[in-house]
Structure 1
Amino acid sequence: MKQQPLSHWDISTSRLVLGCMGLGGEWNRDPYTEADVKKAEEAVEAALSIGISMFDHADIYRIGKAESVFGEVLKRNPGLREKIVIQSKCGIRFADGSGPGRFDFSKEHILASVDGSLQRLGIDTLDILLLHRPDPLMEPEVVAEAIQTLRESGKVRRFGVSNMNVSQIRFLQQASPEPFIVNQLEMSLAKLDWVDQTVHVNQKAGTSVHFGEGLMEFCQTEHIQIQSWGPLAKGLFSGQTPEDAPENVLATAKLVQELAAAKETTPEAIVLGWLMRHPALIQPVIGTANPGRIRACADAERQASLMTREEWYALYVSSRGVPMP
């Protein structure tokens, strides 16, 4: 059965998501500024202009300021909240007086994190809440209690995970009646473990791949939307390629530029289109806050539909730097 995109759950029809980690100023506890709000407004406007209606947050981004400046954007633009999908994450805690940097899936922390996100965003409900990184001390029944409380209170509509493998998702899901509808993972032309895991079955090279066996197939079978964080690889193949980069990176950046020129599109659209060409209907979460780079992603979905199998493999083989097994 072919996986359905997030619209299957009436959550979003946006094939691209704007990641908001770059909003809110510096990674410190200084107050955000008017310039930070203006930057956020320009990023949101650019996203909306190319059809992006889904925005990805986390309680820790810019130590809360990413959500705060986004909340200010919502306050200054009445009616915007009803037009967009807001997703946030919880579960990561920075070092503080209570302990070192750590993960926390306790009921108390999950509930407090959501309350904090809602307050900073100035909204009543998160459309989606993701559990940010797997907590070694997680107890499925405890997580399920938190999820039930959030669902019944109307504070969160749907739930998902981030950076989790098959066993971890199953472990949590068996205790919760609420389905996890998202798994957000690092995936890009520079982060190829998700493809290599498929290619290197019964190959010695597969012993060095640590993406998660069967994760792509599991998510597709269970209708879990795969989102990719870092899909542009910090511009590595679309204009930010260091001169001393490895040969496979330089060759791939050149190939991306050639394909973009031939197809009269942008390098960003080629890089994202390569991800979106996969049958899993991967949903890239673009992390740039630069309006120009956001708009450069506009053609990604079309390029995905036009990309041939040969072009997809050309990019993959070039980036991996070695022939197919």
Structure 2
Amino acid sequence: MGTGGARVLYGCMGLGDVGQAQAAVRAALDAGITAFDHADIYGGGRAEAVFGEVLAGDAGLRERITVQTKCGIRPDLGVYDLRGASITARVEQSLERLRTDVVDVLLLHRPDPLADPADVAAALTSLHRQGLVRAFGVSNMSGAQIALLQHHLELPLVADQLEMSLHRRDWVEAGVLVDTPESAEVGFPLGTVEYCMRHGVELQAWGALAQGRYTGREQNPTAELVARLAAAKGTTPETIVLWWLQRHPARIAPVIGTTNPDRIRACADAARREPDLTREEWYELWLSARGHRLP
């Protein structure tokens, strides 16, 4: 049990009031998006709270969607905290704000160097047995970190959420720059994508729309290419940018964070259709965004 094979998730980071949340949820559902991504720190808890009000106002909505949230960052202290007791407390607070009895997926938001993986695993197992969380994953973690936690946990880790986009390309660059001088410039942990593909861990991409760099915010050659491909395929620039991620064999699930209802709806083809990019078009987009040839 993960996000139910969602092609696209709606990221709720920007939600700040109920009216805005209602409009965003309506637009996401119109676009065929039924998985909603939260974190306990988004808006200091406000994003979860207004989403909870939306759920409370629509009795049938909760059963039609997947709710995912994260814990592990303590902005009040400026640290990460994956102690088992802290995870449990944070989940209970999220459930209260979200006005739901269960979280479909809980992600551990950032790696905590002092976390004891056995303690973490015990907390996750307890939350699952109590029926408070259905499935677990991680965020911003490497394949090696996932493997260590999985060693202590009988439940399968179902997702890893990372920053991935046509602009943030470290995840794909790491695999092709091996044994080249450029490899030192790539910080993405080599082997993470391969680990997730091998073990059935869904890769979720936050920042997937690249803050609009290729869909109208800026004028640049890649944005022009994206616009041409969108026109040729009868879709939107947003969809082309998301298809570039989805076209990878890992079947990456983009997380879109815009609060603009029109822009949310512009992602509908990415949520409803298989990515319509040829191999040549995928490479053309990559090379354009890179700005120089492959080694």
Q: 2:268 corresponds to which residue?
A: 298
Which of the numbers 11, 27, 35 marks the counterpart of 1:19?
11
Which of the numbers 79, 87, 110 marks the counterpart of 2:87?
110
Which of the numbers 131, 135, 139 marks the counterpart of 2:108?
131
Unaligned runs of 5+ in 1: 1-8, 25-35, 244-249
- 1:122 paired with 2:92, answer no
Could you tell me how far apart the structure 2 residues matched to 1:10 and 1:236 are? 30
Could you tell me how far apart the structure 2 residues matched to 1:195 and 1:68 are? 36
For 1:57-96, list aligned pairs within 5 A.
57-95=38-76
- 1:317 paired with 2:287, answer yes
- 1:206 paired with 2:183, answer yes
Which of the numbers 288, 297, 300 marks the counterpart of 2:258?
288
What per-residue deviation string (whole Å, max 9, x for no partner) do you get for residues 103-123 of structure 1?
000111101100000000001
What per-residue deviation string (whole Å, max 9, x for no partner) do you get for residues 237-270 of structure 1?
10111x6xxxxxx111111111112222111010
Could you tell me how far apart the structure 2 residues matched to 1:138 and 1:144 are? 10
Q: 2:208 corresponds to which residue?
A: 231
Conserved? CA contact 2:207–2:257, under 8 Å: yes
Which of the numbers 134, 153, 160 marks the counterpart of 1:183?
160
Shift of 1:302: 6.4
Q: 2:172 corresponds to which residue?
A: 195
Shift of 1:71: 0.3
Shifted more, 184-193 versus 203-212: the winner is 203-212
Give the AA of the match of 2:135: R
Aligned pair count reads 295
Give the AA of the match of 2:169: L
What per-residue deviation string (whole Å, max 9, x for no partner) do you get for residues 135-190 of structure 1?
01111011011111101111000000000001111111111111110000000011
Give the AA of the match of 2:10: L
What secondary structure does 2:138 align onto? Answer: strand
Conserved? CA contact 2:2–2:159, under 8 Å: no
Which of the numbers 44, 47, 70 marks the counterpart of 2:25?
44
Shift of 1:10: 6.5
Q: What percentage of aligned pairs have identical amino acids?
A: 53
What per-residue deviation string (whole Å, max 9, x for no partner) do you get for residues 35-90 of structure 1?
x2111001001111111110000000000000000000001111100110000000
Give the AA of the match of 2:288: S
Q: 1:219 corresponds to which residue?
A: 196
Conserved? CA contact 2:206–2:256, under 8 Å: yes
Could you tell me how far apart the structure 2 residues matched to 1:49 and 1:137 are? 43
Shift of 1:305: 3.0
Shift of 1:13: 3.6
Which of the numbers 268, 274, 278 marks the counterpart of 2:238?
268
TM-score (norm 2): 0.97
Give the AA of the match of 1:15: R
Alpha-carbon spacing, 1:310–1:302, altered in 2? closer, same or farther (3 Å): farther
What per-residue deviation string (whole Å, max 9, x for no partner) do you get for residues 269-306 of structure 1?
10001111011010001001111000000112567532
Could you tell me how far apart the structure 1 residues matched to 2:75 and 2:31 are? 35
Could you tell me how far apart the structure 1 residues matched to 2:6 and 2:109 are? 21
TM-score (norm 1): 0.89
Conserved? CA contact 2:136–2:159, under 8 Å: yes
Could you tell me how far apart the structure 2 residues matched to 1:302 and 1:121 are? 27
CA RMSD of aligned residues (A): 1.2
Alpha-carbon spacing, 1:301–1:116, altered in 2? closer, same or farther (3 Å): closer
